[in-house]
Structure 1
Amino acid sequence: MITMQAFHTMLIPILTGMILLAVGFNFRDKNVGVFGMWVGMLLILGTVVYKILAKLAE
């Protein structure tokens, strides 16, 4: 069973990344929108890669 702390550790960066992707997509014609999409993708991918590496290290 996953603990609530581990769940929130994954949930917060993924939700933040999804919000940044949505806001960045709305402002994709400006530089700040493109930057928001980059940061959003890095947050989501970074969280997934971190959890994969942590599971492999067990």
Structure 2
Amino acid sequence: MKNKIKKMTWKKIEKILKEKRKKKIKGKKKEKEKKEEKYMKIKRRKKKKEERRTAQQQ
């Protein structure tokens, strides 16, 4: 690994690091979206339950 790094120019190293950062950011965005979807599903379930309760009471 060390030999490869010595042969590489700084531009190549920076390019690789930028790609890694982009992948990390994409991964974080996907995680956020998944969490939001879960939250919205839970909200929908609660709404449906409330609607059923109100319908039964009337």
Q: TM-score, length-normalised on structure 1?
A: 0.46
Q: Which has the larger radius of gyration?
A: 2
Considering Cα pairs closer than 8 Å and 6+ residues apart, tell me whether 1 or 2 has the greater RCO: 1
More helix by share: 2
